[in-house]
Structure 1
């Protein structure tokens, strides 16, 4: 496998895992589970659950870590969310929801044990400098059963890639609102709390593409430190297949 092949494997794995975990995060069943757990606003449950591994941080700190959200919006949701179960209680609740979603919707996917095993090799070898969310999620105990464990591993790796990407965006000079507009447009950007008028970043398209490429290159380096070429290719293929099963099983 050439360097380009490793980049492709890391990018493919990241895309599949990112979409799979995104389906979990934004699914009505997940929001309903947050409400059932005491979060009147499911978005507050999402923010507290996702960032709770940071501990009893301030809303401003959480906004700095979750760099692509509008700061005042994320701080308000954080404060509302941690009032229910605290920070670590929120992350534990979210971790259990991740496991249950995997058990429910990844059943039937092939190679879930291998996704977990290979993903864990990457997680164990990756440095935590500059990636506090990844460091927090890496410390959480994984479920024993393959469907739950596989989706939890996907979540941890998704946070790793996200923070690598956030760091590269920050040094690129592309504002978070511009990155959203370049990535998916107006409605997606509004979902992250950014108000109109929205800076479109039209003059930074090439720079944004360079950030995406740099993210994939860095993730390929992280993968190469933990996996041999065959394992990296295997993880990419199994992740894409698991995503297909998840999408087929999850109700629209």
Structure 2
């Protein structure tokens, strides 16, 4: 398999992994679990949960790691969230929530053991330098059962790609709000706490495409360091299958 083929497989794996984890993060059931755990604002549960692996950091530090959130909004959510049960316990709860979501909605997917195996090879071989959220999550203990473990592995792989992407984006001259508008638009800009008016970043569209390509090239280097071409394609296929199965199983 050529380098071009591995690049294509890397792209093909990244999208479904991102979507599977996004479904978990944004699903009403996940928010309801956070509320039941004591977070009056479920977004505070999300921020404390996802960022909890950073430890008892300041809101300013955490907002710099999350990158694409409006900094003051993110700081407020972090401070509200860690006040409930601290950082480490928030991360542990969120990890358990991810496992439970996988058990409920990934159980029908094929090849989950293999998906986890391939993903774990990548995680074990990829250090966390410059990738703080990924560095924290890669040390968390994985569940034993295949649906939960596959969900958690995809969670870590998503943090890996996000960290790589944020590093490229930060050096591109494209602001976080411009990146939102060039990617998923106003809905996500609002969701991530940015106030109107939104700069559309239209003059940087070509540069944003270059950011995506640089992200994919770096992820290709990461995957190809430990997976051969067939394994990379297998990871992409299994991830796509997991997404299809999840979509079929998750209630609207």
TM-score calculated relative to the size of structure 1: 0.99
Structure 1 Cα separation of the partners of residues 8 and 88 of structure 2: 35
Q: What value does the CA root-mean-square deviation take over the aligned residues?
A: 0.5
- 1:60 corresponding residue in structure 2: 60
- 2:113 corresponding residue in structure 1: 113
- 2:236 corresponding residue in structure 1: 236
- 1:26 corresponding residue in structure 2: 26
1:201 matched to 2:195? The reply is no
Structure 1 Cα separation of the partners of residues 5 and 130 of structure 2: 26
- 1:184 corresponding residue in structure 2: 184
Structure 1 Cα separation of the partners of residues 238 and 83 of structure 2: 39
- 1:138 corresponding residue in structure 2: 138
- 2:81 corresponding residue in structure 1: 81
Structure 1 residue runs of 5 or longer lacking an equivalent are none
Post-superposition, which runs of at least 4 consecutive aligned residues in structure 1 deviate over 3 A? none
Structure 2 Cα separation of the partners of residues 244 and 79 of structure 1: 36
The alignment partner of 1:142 has SS state of coil
- 1:220 corresponding residue in structure 2: 220
The alignment partner of 2:225 has SS state of helix
Structure 2 Cα separation of the partners of residues 199 and 4 of structure 1: 35
1:167 matched to 2:167? The reply is yes
Structure 2 Cα separation of the partners of residues 185 and 128 of structure 1: 30
CA displacement, residues 13-43 of structure 1 (integer Å, 9 cap, x when unaligned): 1101000000000000000000011111000
TM-score calculated relative to the size of structure 2: 0.99
**What's the offset of the Cα at 1:203?**
0.3
Aligned residue-pair number: 252
**What's the offset of the Cα at 1:5?**
1.0
CA displacement, residues 70-110 of structure 1 (integer Å, 9 cap, x when unaligned): 00000000000000110010000000000000000001110
The alignment partner of 2:231 has SS state of helix
- 2:47 corresponding residue in structure 1: 47
Structure 1 Cα separation of the partners of residues 232 and 221 of structure 2: 11
**What's the offset of the Cα at 1:127?**
2.2
The alignment partner of 1:114 has SS state of helix
The alignment partner of 1:195 has SS state of coil
CA displacement, residues 182-223 of structure 1 (integer Å, 9 cap, x when unaligned): 001112111100001111101000000000011011001000
- 1:104 corresponding residue in structure 2: 104
CA displacement, residues 112-171 of structure 1 (integer Å, 9 cap, x when unaligned): 000100000000111211101001000000000000000000000000000100000000
The alignment partner of 1:172 has SS state of coil
